[in-house]
Structure 1
Amino acid sequence: MSAKAISRRRALTLGGAGSVAAAAGLATPALAQSAIIWKMVTSWPKDLPGPGASARRIAEAISKLSDGRLKVELFAAGELVPALEVFDAVAGGTAQIGHSASFFWQGKMAAAPFFTAVPFGFTPLEHMCWIERGGGQQVWDALYEPFGVLPLMGGNTGFQMGGWYKREINGLEDIKGLKIRMPGLGGEVMRRLGATPVSLPPSEILTGLQSGVIDAAEFLGPSSDLAMGFHQATKLYYGPGWHEPNGTGEALLNASAFNALPEDLKGIVIHAIRAENALGLAEGEWMNAVQLGTLTDKLGVKLMQFPDDVLEAARRTSDEVLAGFADKGGADAEVYRSFAKARETMTPWSRANEVTFLNARV
């Protein structure tokens, strides 16, 4: 099956994919005995709230919906491959499926971070609109196709926080010289503002903060950040998460392994991943709301806001970083043009309803 055919299949509604999954439930015991075994590798600690839970649910759903015909064995970060080698493992066939975040592959594909989040980019719902209906899936497919990898949205941790800082940020001068764990395009923005981005996998962030390897770190939102224990290193928690206003996780499929599946199992894989994208977002936003109170009311965390001059400089610099993709050519430029067109289309509607409503509600 070609990548274009797979993209058309992705456009099926959840209901259609669900019908395929329901039919798969009629598999006979004989079929179930000849199970296909897939390995899933992830960039997350085992059962990490948010992306770790999404990975586990996808693996369980595929196994259950296929009546055991396709079983997915889950490996947390470091159990089979290191956290930042998930893409290579899936591309090379060490694993047939992976769960990670696209900004980790920026060194391979400059535009990869667009499919997790970009500074001052899409909200979670806007991002889903771009991927599902605004042409985002097509340019994502094209970007990963040379590696033999098929990507899908596989969960969402919602709006991000700005991160944990060991000293207060009172103005733009305080950004200069700051050693910060911030991957993706947000890290490039911080570098241009005078900070020093440091690359650390999730499992090393807390020790990096405690040891002084880094002065600040962003990860996800209150739920996942609480589970990672960052409040043990500092009580200063900054927002908003201008660098990642969305938190899309990605499911990565080895194209050869996926194409070798029977048609009904292909439908089940797609259904399980797409269903988790919706569930993961709902869970992420709910748990972030709950655990923000835990951090502030029970653990003494101080909720801070970036000063206006920092946000203004970050927004201006972000525009420069994003616009630079137009000059790169090839798939990177196509990704940027698709993103820019979708943002231009959706911004007036978001401003007319969501922005004005939230301002009125508060």
Structure 2
Amino acid sequence: MPEAKPDNRLVSRRGLLGGTAAAAAALSAPVAAQGDASIEWKMVTSWPKNLPGPGVTAQRIADQVGKMSGGRFRIRLYAAGELVPALGVFDAVSAGTAQMAHTASFFWQGKVPASVFFTAAPFGLLPNEHISWIEQGGGQELWDKLYAPFGIKPVMAGNTGVQMGGWYKKKLSGLEDLKGLKIRMPGLGGEVMRRLGATPVSLPPGELFQALQTGVLDATEFLGPWSDRSMGFQKAASFYYTPGFHEPNGTGEALFNETALNGLPEDLRTILLEACRAENGRALAESDWQNATSLQILQEKDGVEVVPYPDEIISALRTETKSVLEAFADSDPVSREIYESHAAARDRMAPWSDVAMRRFLAARDGSV
């Protein structure tokens, strides 16, 4: 997903806040006036409509809110490009163009560098570990602090699970094959690849297939087999790499305009937040199940070759990740605070994950 570069097209925090206060206030006014009357919100997303994985999750959240509220609270979903561009949803919620969004936090690395940690960090937390950090380890409080200057409240809203390493047109034999490789890879993973000689390219999800097919990209990552196959990547590239070192977790992000959220009646606010929270488990279960099925289809029907990254590349990726994270942590005090919290969560949970999961899987598969 996006390259780690500032986006000069985006307005400053001061400009956003100063220019959007009236719009944000207007969002909450109808809610207060209507009381128990029907409330309608706009949700903008970064996904093609009903994209397997995050697109399905976004629609399900909207549907569940309508059902649980007995029709008092309706959310109309706008897919990427229908109301605002895929990568414009953060600004749309901050400005009050829409009351909420469904997206992924690493899209905002150019605007809010530490946002990447709330989706994934290279060689970082697995889905269950990430959820533990957010809910038990202080992650949510730091996430709130990071987005507060923009008038946005973020929460977890779905999870696509452990990601794949990406689609490559040519097989990789070693580090030399990364030199000049045009790859779409998100967050800090893209910076790690850049340091190894690749050229990260920032494109929204809806443009990836054509870019891969036409040669604008030599490689792209996205999510897992279920979502990736629906995007058609198997028609443009034959080599599907693993592991997804850059995204061991796939948290979806719901963004709420704080003024609009606080203006909801308490019961509707609770319904909205709990619908997002419930989707974390539901979407993760769905993604794991569907990924298993789609991976088999990709290999047996589509002729895709699942390939492990060469040991030389994995070793270099791991080494460069350490230096990228250290440099990142020095960029500003908030980034340092989030990095240290994330690292502490990894250190705390890694021994338990090793005992409980790694060793069980090895025993189940007969490798020990």
Same fold (TM over 0.5): yes
Q: Is residue 164–residue 218 contact of structure 1 (8 Å, CA) maintained in 2?
A: yes
**Cα distance in 2 for residues equivalent to 1:279 and 1:186:** 27
User: What's the counterpart of residue 331 of structure 1?
Assistant: 334
**Cα distance in 2 for residues equivalent to 1:31 and 1:64:** 18
* Aligned residue type for 1:224: S
Alignment of 1:104-123 (within 5 A): 104-123=107-126
**Cα distance in 1 for residues equivalent to 2:332 and 2:210:** 39
- CA shift, 1:325, in A, is 3.0
- CA shift, 1:133, in A, is 0.4
User: What's the counterpart of residue 275 of structure 1?
Assistant: 278
- Out of 229, 252, 276, the position equivalent to 2:232 is 229
User: What's the counterpart of residue 30 of structure 2?
Assistant: none
- CA shift, 1:131, in A, is 0.4
Alignment of 1:212-223 (within 5 A): 212-223=215-226
- Out of 186, 195, 198, the position equivalent to 2:198 is 195
**Cα distance in 1 for residues equivalent to 2:134 and 2:212:** 35
Please identify runs of 4+ aligned residues in structure 1 that moved more than 3 A: none
Matched, 1:207 2:231: no
* Aligned residue type for 2:147: Y
Give a deviation string over 1:194-221, Cα, whole Å, max 9, x none: 0000011111101001110010000000
**Cα distance in 1 for residues equivalent to 2:248 and 2:280:** 16
- CA shift, 1:328, in A, is 2.2
Out of 156-165 and 330-339, give the one that drifted further.
Answer: 330-339
User: What's the counterpart of residue 284 of structure 1?
Assistant: 287
**Cα distance in 1 for residues equivalent to 2:132 and 2:327:** 24
User: What's the counterpart of residue 360 of structure 2?
Assistant: 357
Q: Is residue 241–residue 306 contact of structure 2 (8 Å, CA) maintained in 1?
A: yes
**Cα distance in 1 for residues equivalent to 2:328 and 2:343:** 11
User: What's the counterpart of residue 324 of structure 2?
Assistant: 321
Q: Is residue 116–residue 249 contact of structure 1 (8 Å, CA) maintained in 2?
A: yes
Give a deviation string over 1:257-303, Cα, whole Å, max 9, x none: 00001111111111100001110111011100110001001111111
Q: Is residue 35–residue 265 contact of structure 2 (8 Å, CA) maintained in 1?
A: no
User: What's the counterpart of residue 293 of structure 1?
Assistant: 296
**Cα distance in 1 for residues equivalent to 2:299 and 2:107:** 30
User: What's the counterpart of residue 171 of structure 2?
Assistant: 168
* Aligned residue type for 2:96: G
**Cα distance in 2 for residues equivalent to 1:341 and 1:238:** 29
* Aligned residue type for 1:46: K
Give a deviation string over 1:290-321, Cα, whole Å, max 9, x none: 10001001111111110001001001111111
Out of 285-294 and 316-325, give the one that drifted further.
Answer: 316-325
- CA shift, 1:348, in A, is 1.1
* Aligned residue type for 2:68: L
**Cα distance in 2 for residues equivalent to 1:163 and 1:328:** 28
Give a deviation string over 1:116-175, Cα, whole Å, max 9, x none: 111000111110010010111111110000000001100000010000001010111111
- CA shift, 1:31, in A, is 7.1
User: What's the counterpart of residue 103 of structure 2?
Assistant: 100
Q: Is residue 180–residue 199 contact of structure 2 (8 Å, CA) maintained in 1?
A: yes
Q: Is residue 97–residue 252 contact of structure 1 (8 Å, CA) maintained in 2?
A: yes
- Out of 49, 54, 62, the position equivalent to 2:52 is 49
User: What's the counterpart of residue 259 of structure 2?
Assistant: 256
- CA shift, 1:329, in A, is 2.8
Q: Is residue 225–residue 291 contact of structure 2 (8 Å, CA) maintained in 1?
A: yes
- Out of 33, 38, 55, the position equivalent to 1:35 is 38
Q: Is residue 31–residue 69 contact of structure 1 (8 Å, CA) maintained in 2?
A: no
Task: Name the SS for the 2:171 alignment partner.
Answer: coil
- CA shift, 1:64, in A, is 1.2
Indicate the percent of aligned positions where both proteins have the same amino acid. 60
Give a deviation string over 1:56-80, Cα, whole Å, max 9, x none: 0101111111111111000000000
Q: Is residue 106–residue 118 contact of structure 2 (8 Å, CA) maintained in 1?
A: yes
- CA shift, 1:330, in A, is 2.4
- Out of 178, 181, 185, the position equivalent to 1:182 is 185
**Cα distance in 1 for residues equivalent to 2:332 and 2:213:** 42
- Out of 112, 136, 152, the position equivalent to 1:149 is 152
- Out of 65, 68, 74, the position equivalent to 1:65 is 68
Task: Name the SS for the 1:151 alignment partner.
Answer: strand
* Aligned residue type for 2:364: R
Alpha-carbon spacing, 1:221–1:107, altered in 2? closer, same or farther (3 Å): same
User: What's the counterpart of residue 7 of structure 1?
Assistant: none
Task: Name the SS for the 1:67 alignment partner.
Answer: coil
TM-score normalized by structure 2? 0.89
Give a deviation string over 1:25-54, Cα, whole Å, max 9, x none: xxxxx976x211100000000000000000
User: Root-mean-square deviation (CA), in Å?
Assistant: 1.1
**Cα distance in 2 for residues equivalent to 1:31 and 1:196:** 53
Q: Is residue 154–residue 273 contact of structure 1 (8 Å, CA) maintained in 2?
A: yes
Out of 37-46 and 314-323, give the one that drifted further.
Answer: 314-323
- Out of 339, 346, 351, the position equivalent to 2:349 is 346
Q: Is residue 109–residue 332 contact of structure 1 (8 Å, CA) maintained in 2?
A: no
